[in-house]
Amino acid sequence: MATQTVKRNAMAALVVIGIALWIAAAFLMVQSVQNSARFSALHGWILLINAAGSLTLLVLIVVRLLRLMRAWRARVIGSRLEARMVWMFGVLAITPILLLFYFSIEFINRGIDSWFNVEVRQGLNDALTLSRAALDLRMRENLDSTQSVARELEADEQASLTSLGELRRRSGAIELTLFGVNSRILATSAEKPEGDLPLRPTEEIVWQVRQGHSYVNLDPTTGGGYSIRVAVAVQPQRTGMPPRLLQAIFPVETRISALADNVESSYQQYAAKARLREPLKTSFKLTLTLVLLMATFTALYGAFWVARRLVQPIQVLVRGTRAVAEGDFDTRLPLTSHDELGMLVHSFNDMTKRLARAREDTRHSQQAVEAERANLEVILARLSTGVISLEPDLRIRTMNQAAASILRGDLDRSDDLDRMIGQPLTAVASGAPIFEQFAEASRAHLDRGEAEWREQMELRSGTSRRSLMCACTVLPGEAERPSGYVLVFDDITALLQAQRDAAWGEVARRLAHEIKNPLTPIRLSAERLRHKLLSGMNPADALILERGTHTIVQQVEAMKDMVNAFSEYARTPKMDIAAFDLNQLVTEVTDLYRAQDAQRPGRRRLQVTLDPELGVAGLSELEADRGRIRQLLHNLIANACEALEGHVDAQVSVATHLTSRSTGAFAEIVVEDNGPGFSTDVLGRMFDPYVTTKPKGTGLGLAIVKKIVEEHGGRIEAQNNPSATGSGARIHVELPLLAANRGAANRTETARVGAGVEVRRERA
């Protein structure tokens, strides 16, 4: 910035120096025009000063031109406009200067020639001749008068000397003096005797008179006028005496003197100027040429300067406009003037200020929107309810993780979810039976023009079923056209299951209450009848009575077992949580079944696989109700053993595993058999009460197991095992290793039913 300022100051100084040199040269030229000698003396300096000034401005113009050419080639903003303006300003400035120069030269040539016209010169010559002739006539008259006085003095010397004053008056002289030898005054008479002594003749006059010639001449006076001096010889009467000299001074009228003087002066001036005719033309032409160069170079440099001054704000505006176009709204242009360009710059700065303020407001609004959107995304991500927003053409706009988990259980990563955004709903649903049914049902409503609707959907995938409560609302847009739709749905499968479980629990409590009370009187009555009547009856009737009462007692016991099972399913037990070794408990339970199998024909093989990492004291012990877990193991193993009744090479496998997840460590219990497996019609309802495929089963075993798992915050899966011989069944139980992790585990319970179909049940 400082370098630019120094350069600008140096350029301005050079311009001022050049113009000052030109002005000085022109001033010297004007001063020397009237004097040829002075003109000759100053001519070299004038040319030198002119050359220096011209060279200075020429260098500046060349520098400006080269700079403009470089800017033109580099396509600098405003260079083309500056070049056009320099061209226009230069032409407009130089054209009238050249015209004025041409006509000035012609005017000078003709004007100077007209000054020295032949008629003017002849008139001045005639006037000079006339004035001289008049003076010559007057001088001859005065000479004659003086010679007449001299003759009178020669005739009567004494009388004439006494009457010298009379002679002076008669001749018209203002002074009459008679000089003797050595210019001694012999007699004198003056018009004003109180004045100075008579004017003595010069030696030249004395010599001329002694040579026999008369002297007459026009002499200037001290008052600025002229007088006529006449000197003649006066011969003495005695021979041998030298002649005396009579001098007469005659006045010349002031008017005649002035006229003669003016004529003489005018003639001398005219003659002097006539000698300067050609030098005058040359000087005037040189002066005009200097002025032309000064005006031309000044005009050219002024054209560059004015064009630069006009283009520079435009360049600044263009740069500012480009900066604004690129998004830099903080651009502020310097306000260097208060004219129209200054108003434009002020308006531009005001515009950028408003744009910056608007951008800042927009940025704050966007930040607020983004913050709200982020909050909404966080809320949607944490919601257990699925939310899908659609474009008017049913393309997915947004979709939360819960929606993807409910409709497509195979999507667990956010990048998979991001790939769905912008895709058609039907395309995203392709390959997922639950999602396809949901998309078709939703599309059917929207195709019928139902912008807002609510429906409970029953969706099936193979042998599994899913219950969704779905609601749709329209997003308002412009011109009463919808800008999109919002689908909100919730998986109420677990809720319906919980309602069914609650209903079955209530039924179980009522059955246990209503049935258990009369069972004891019925049994007692049957035993009393048998005891009372059996001894007095014949053998045939006694046998019938024995069989009848025995059947009643057996059925009462069976009903009591069923009522006890109902009570077990319906009651809410008090949990006794303690840390214990799960592997040891599994070993104890399986040893009981191995002992029973050893006493039966057709032995079953019971295979146990234990994870050694489970059961480490203080590290991997299971915190749970030992009695309830024992009951869980009994029910699962018993259910597997009962499913293998009558099967050859029956095999039951019990295994434990220790797994780690983001929510903590889990203990897994897997019970498999190689039996017929679960039938497809009941696979989706295996954990419902009274659902069984065994002729002697009550249908409460797996329901109680599921309840125990839920009480411990775990999850259970039931599926057919394709890896086992004869398909087989597989029950997978997962329990939080620590009681503190049950809260996190309870938030999501997963029941896998069917061929890999997963149902997630959200809990409060």
Task: Give CA torsion, residues 752, 754, 761, 496, to 10 deg.
Answer: -140
Task: Please state the CATH superfamily assignment of the domain spanning residues 383-491 in this structure.
Answer: PAS domain (3.30.450.20)
User: What's the rounded Cα separation, in Å, for the pair 90 and 404?
Assistant: 77
Tokens 């030298």 belong to residue: 242
pLDDT, position 168 = 80
Per-residue pLDDT of 508-535, as tens digits, reads 666 666 676 677 778 788 888 777 777 7
Q: Which of the pair, 659 or 603, is modelled with greater confidence?
A: 659
As given in the structure block, the two tokens for residue 33 are 């025009």
Q: Using CA of residue 541, residue 544, residue 547, residue 549, what is the dihedral sign?
A: negative
pLDDT, position 93 = 75
Task: Please say if the pLDDT value at position 163 is more than 60.
Answer: yes
pLDDT band at 414 (very low <50, low <70, confident <90, very high): low
Tokens 């009238």 belong to residue: 96
Q: Mapped to the 3 state alphabet, what secondary structure does 67-99 carry? A: HHHHHHHCCCCCHHHHHHHHHHHHHHHHHHHHH
Greatest mean pLDDT among 101-110, 293-302, 730-739 lies in: 730-739
In this chain, the answer to whether the domains covering 139-271 and 383-491 adopt an identical fold is yes
H or E element at residue 550: helix 539-570
- How many CA atoms are closer than 13 Å to the CA of 423, on its beta-carbon side? 14
Give the residue among 610, 606, 611 at the shortest CA–CA distance from 651.
606
- Burial class for 477, CB neighbours closer than 10 Å (0-12, 13-18, 19+): exposed
Greatest mean pLDDT among 228-232, 499-503, 741-745 lies in: 228-232
As given in the structure block, the two tokens for residue 72 are 């033109």
User: What's the rounded Cα separation, in Å, for the pair 421 and 428?
Assistant: 9
Task: Please say if the pLDDT value at position 560 is more than 50.
Answer: yes
Question: CB under 8 Å, gap of 24 or more: what pairs does 651-655 form?
Answer: 651/604, 651/605, 651/606, 651/607, 651/724, 652/593, 652/604, 652/605, 652/606, 652/607, 653/607, 653/608, 653/609, 654/586, 654/590, 654/606, 654/607, 654/608, 654/609, 655/608, 655/609, 655/610, 655/611
List the CATH code of the domain at 574-762: 3.30.565.10
User: What's the rounded Cα separation, in Å, for the pair 146 and 250?
Assistant: 10
Q: Partners of 606 in the beta sheet?
A: 652
- Burial class for 549, CB neighbours closer than 10 Å (0-12, 13-18, 19+): buried
For residues 725-750, average pLDDT: 68
pLDDT band at 759 (very low <50, low <70, confident <90, very high): very low
Per-residue pLDDT of 224-274, as tens digits, reads 677 888 888 888 776 667 788 888 888 876 666 666 666 666 666 666 666
Would you give the DSSP letter of residue 679?
Answer: -
pLDDT, position 654 = 93
pLDDT, position 734 = 92
- What mean pLDDT, rounded, does the chain reach? 75
Residues 6+ apart with CB under 8 A from 47: none
Residue 167 · residue 190 · CB < 8 Å: no
As given in the structure block, the two tokens for residue 336 are 């260097």
User: What's the rounded Cα separation, in Å, for the pair 6 and 9?
Assistant: 5
Would you give the DSSP letter of residue 395?
Answer: B
Task: Please say if the pLDDT value at position 671 is more than 90.
Answer: yes
User: What's the rounded Cα separation, in Å, for the pair 609 and 480?
Assistant: 67
Give the residue among 46, 80, 60, 70 at the shortest CA–CA distance from 17.
60
pLDDT, position 669 = 94
Asked which of 55-59, 266-270, 370-374, 756-760 is least confident by mean pLDDT, the reply is: 756-760
As given in the structure block, the two tokens for residue 144 are 């004659």
Task: Please say if the pLDDT value at position 298 is more than 50.
Answer: yes
Asked which of 17-31, 199-213, 706-720 is least confident by mean pLDDT, the reply is: 17-31
Residue 198 · residue 189 · CB < 8 Å: no
Q: Mapped to the 3 state alphabet, what secondary structure does 698-745 carry? A: CCCHHHHHHHHHHHCCCEEEEEEEEEECCEEEEEEEEEECCHHHHHHH
User: What's the rounded Cα separation, in Å, for the pair 622 and 420?
Assistant: 41
Give the residue among 293, 291, 301, 295 at the shortest CA–CA distance from 60.
301
pTM, two decimals, is: 0.42
pLDDT, position 745 = 46
What are the φ and ψ backbone dihedral angles of 4, each rounded to 5 degrees?
Answer: -60, -40
Task: Please say if the pLDDT value at position 143 is more than 90.
Answer: no
Task: Please say if the pLDDT value at position 713 is more than 50.
Answer: yes
Asked which of 44-53, 371-380, 639-648 is least confident by mean pLDDT, the reply is: 44-53
User: What's the rounded Cα separation, in Å, for the pair 129 and 22?
Assistant: 46
User: What's the rounded Cα separation, in Å, for the pair 368 and 356?
Assistant: 18
Alpha-carbon distances, residue 377 vs 382, 388, 411 (angstroms): 8, 12, 17
Amino acid at 661: R
User: Residue 624 in 3-state DSSP?
Assistant: strand
For residues 526-548, average pLDDT: 79
Q: Where are the domains of the chain?
A: 2-115+276-323, 139-271, 383-491, 498-567, 574-762
Calculate what percentage of the chain has a pLDDT beyond 90: 2
Q: Using CA of residue 711, residue 714, residue 715, residue 721, what is the dihedral sign?
A: negative
CA 581: distance to chain centroid?
Answer: 68
Q: Partners of 486 in the beta sheet?
A: 389, 473
pLDDT, position 152 = 80
Calculate what percentage of the chain has a pLDDT beyond 70: 73
Task: Please say if the pLDDT value at position 4 is more than 90.
Answer: no
User: Residue 421 in 3-state DSSP?
Assistant: coil
Residue 588 · residue 544 · CB < 8 Å: no
Per-residue pLDDT of 30-81, as tens digits, reads 666 555 566 666 666 766 777 777 777 778 778 877 877 887 887 776 677 7
Alpha-carbon distances, residue 617 vs 196, 221, 341, 581 (angstroms): 163, 156, 89, 8
For residues 81-100, average pLDDT: 78
As given in the structure block, the two tokens for residue 330 are 């903080």
Tokens 């309810």 belong to residue: 385
User: Residue 57 in 3-state DSSP?
Assistant: helix
Cα 681-686-691 angle, rounded to 5 deg: 80
Mark residue 224 as left, alpha or beta (left: phi above 0; alpha: psi -120 to 50; beta: remaining). left
For residues 11-39, average pLDDT: 65
As given in the structure block, the two tokens for residue 112 are 């100077």
Cβ neighbours, 10 Å, residue 227: 20
The answer to whether domain 139-271 has CATH 3.30.750.24 is: no
Residues 6+ apart with CB under 8 A from 375: none
What are the φ and ψ backbone dihedral angles of 459, each rounded to 5 degrees?
Answer: -115, 145
In DSSP notation, 87-143 reads: HHHHHHHHHHHHHHHHHHHHHHHHHHHHHT-HHHHHHHHHHHHHHHHHHHHHHHHHH
pLDDT, position 1 = 47
Asked which of 235-249, 336-350, 711-725, 749-763 is least confident by mean pLDDT, the reply is: 749-763
Per-residue pLDDT of 596-632, as tens digits, reads 766 565 556 788 999 888 877 666 788 888 888 888 8
H or E element at residue 519: helix 493-533
For residues 327-333, average pLDDT: 76
Give the residue among 211, 279, 289, 215 at the shortest CA–CA distance from 246.
215
Give the residue among 403, 398, 369, 397 at the shortest CA–CA distance from 383.
403
User: Residue 387 in 3-state DSSP?
Assistant: strand
Asked which of 117-131, 293-307, 499-513 is least confident by mean pLDDT, the reply is: 117-131
Alpha-carbon distances, residue 75 vs 51, 82, 85, 86, 311 (angstroms): 35, 12, 16, 17, 14
H or E element at residue 671: strand 664-673
Packing angle of the helix pair 626-643, 701-711 (nearest 10 deg): 150
Q: Which of the pair, 99 or 112, is modelled with greater confidence?
A: 99
The length of the chain, given as a count of residues: 764
